[in-house]
Chain A
Amino acid sequence: MFKKATLMFLYTETSLHAGSGTSLGVVDLPIQREKYTDFPVIQASGLKGAVREWFEFRSTDSADRRKIELAFGPDKIGSEESGFAAAVSFTDARILLFPVRSLKGIFAYCTSPTALERFRRDAQIAGVSIDWTIPRPPDDRTVLGVREGCDVAADDQVLLEEYAFGFQGKEEVTSIAKWLSQEAFPDRGEYAFWREKVKKSLLVLPDNAFRDFVKLSTEVQARIKIDNDKRTVVKGGLFYEEALLPDSLLYSVVLAHDPVKDDRAELADSPAVLAFLRGIDGQRLQLGGDATIGRGIVSVRFHGQGKQPKPGKEEQGNG
């Protein structure tokens, strides 16, 4: 059983294709989704592999490599090292904020009561207590936004993609937006603008509307295979690939155990494992497929200690 846990937030900077294989649906290469909600998800195995790779690229000596083996498990099964479990576990990365095109304010960070309630429950696993309450839209035609200074609403109306919604400002949404801005968004300088943006553009959608957007408003790209001799498309070489949009926010619960192998010199216990893992806090990571066409760059932010919130000077230029 795990001893220490925390939240790892993933903010996508480019389109992310965590693929689920082939499908019979509209898109040939769809992204991974949860069976019962249809929300986009990044399966834990892919996430763990990508985090491991990040550490492996940076390992310089055998002590580093030993820590990686203790934290993530042995690389080769079949050697004498075979058969011990990793000291760190990840849960599937779930969606918290999904960007949707807005007539005003370019795009809105959208979430829903169900997404927020699940986040609250998952945060509890990580020992993070959430002090905000989650408001409920009154019906399927109304979205809730921040009380003051919402930049996506005009005259009590919000136009998301081509769908119109009524708008209500709520104090609860303001609290959630502030919390996300401080605790979940990457805290580096280049995120000053985005930490402000979420305080203006956060919308709590009715659950049904949110589900429809995460289903229908992902990115669908047509891709082709070229015949090198004819310089034309190969017959049957057109395919559609789905991707999660940039400016989405996901999170995973990171659970640390005491390493199975008693190797006190390297990683003594679960706090040491978590401290080791925090090496990736504030860094960029490549997740999912199509790395060579720029997909899957995410910013990683751990919740809690080690963060340096920079209040005050948030309006600095980011050029």
Chain B
Amino acid sequence: MDTKQPFEKLVELHGAAVLRVCRAVVGPLDADDVWQETFISALRAYTELPADANIEAWLVTIAHRRSLDSVRAAARRAVPIESVPDRESPLGIPDPPGDGVWNHVARLPDKQRRVIAYRYLADLPFTEIAAIVGGTPAAARRSAADGIKKLRILTSEDLPEGDSHEQH
């Protein structure tokens, strides 16, 4: 079939996944703007998209580019300082109230955080992810594994007394 779904249907089907990806990649404060820029860019390009394209991968690719723009814009807005404090989020993403876990995700290297978001929030295969972030699918898989490992360590450091693996 070389017919295309109405664009509204794409927003309905993929809007939530794209928002989760945006939140994981640029943080909760900028996510709404990146989400909107993503769908505006997608709408602009939609008529040229091949009918058999993987829509979610296409949307995540656009979200990836728009989020890079957003990060660059944030960097331009930022005031340069001599030395960056240790353990600061690489994106300067503020901590939403009552949720320290975001710090862990934000503390991952940019590529690991993106690979994890695209794999686990957008459910893309590593071949698609490699096409989006560059490098090989194997490298993307390694990034995801490293990121997950690091997240586990960061999360367990924050856990209260006792071992989370044991359930009593």
A, B in one complex? no
Residues of B within 8 A of A (CB): none
